[in-house]
Amino acid sequence: MIEKNIRTIIHLRTKAARECTLQGRIADVITFFSGRLIFVYVHIFWFGVWIVLNAGWYGLRAFDPFPYGLLTMIVSLEAIFHSTFVLISQNRLSEETERRANLHLHIGLLTEHELTRVLQMLDAIQDKLNIVDHANSDLADHEMETKAEDVLAEIYRLQDIELGKRLCL
């Protein structure tokens, strides 16, 4: 069973990777590269060379004298494009995360429903065999179907109470 589940996960991830657009792949590659120290090292080298070439040292004629307006413009354009690529990657990952969260919710609801059914069947067997519950057993509470919308409403209610407490402080 574990092997089957692992294969399913690998299959779903492979399928998601295949469905990624060319633009998404490019954004992912750029985001992947820019999240590495090599990206920082390349920029340190690039800025160092730029400054040396434009500082007038070694008799070199500056093509972008201090305060390095051309370098500033290039770095600004790079930052605009870079942030856009990062956002594209984050949006794609966010969509994938939402799909996985929906899957987890669906599986959780199915599991809860199945466990409730099993508890109801066990209770019926217990009744048939004339087995008496302990007085402090909370089995009856677990036999009731949990509704996702009720749980969500309770979460929102408690969050509102907590937010109200924080705002009063």
- H helical segments located in the chain: 2-19, 22-34, 37-54, 69-128, 139-143, 148-168
pTM of the model: 0.66
For 17-56, the DSSP string reads HHHS-HHHHHHHHHHHHHTSHHHHHHHHHHHHHHHHHHTT
Residue-number span of the structural domain to which 68 is assigned: 2-168
CA 49 to chain CA centroid, Å, is: 38
Q: CA 94 to CA 102: how far, in whole Å?
A: 12
- Indicate the number of domains in the chain: 1
Amino acid (1-letter code) at residue 47 = F
Q: CA 106 to CA 99: how far, in whole Å?
A: 11
Q: What is the pLDDT along the chain (169 residues), one digit of tens a residue?
A: 888 888 888 888 888 888 888 988 999 999 999 999 999 999 999 999 999 999 888 888 999 999 999 999 999 999 999 999 999 999 999 998 998 888 888 888 889 889 989 988 988 898 899 888 765 566 666 667 777 788 778 888 888 888 777 777 5
Residue that has been written with the tokens 């969509």 in this structure: 95
- Whether residue 119 contacts residue 142, with contact meaning beta carbons closer than 8 Å, is answered with yes
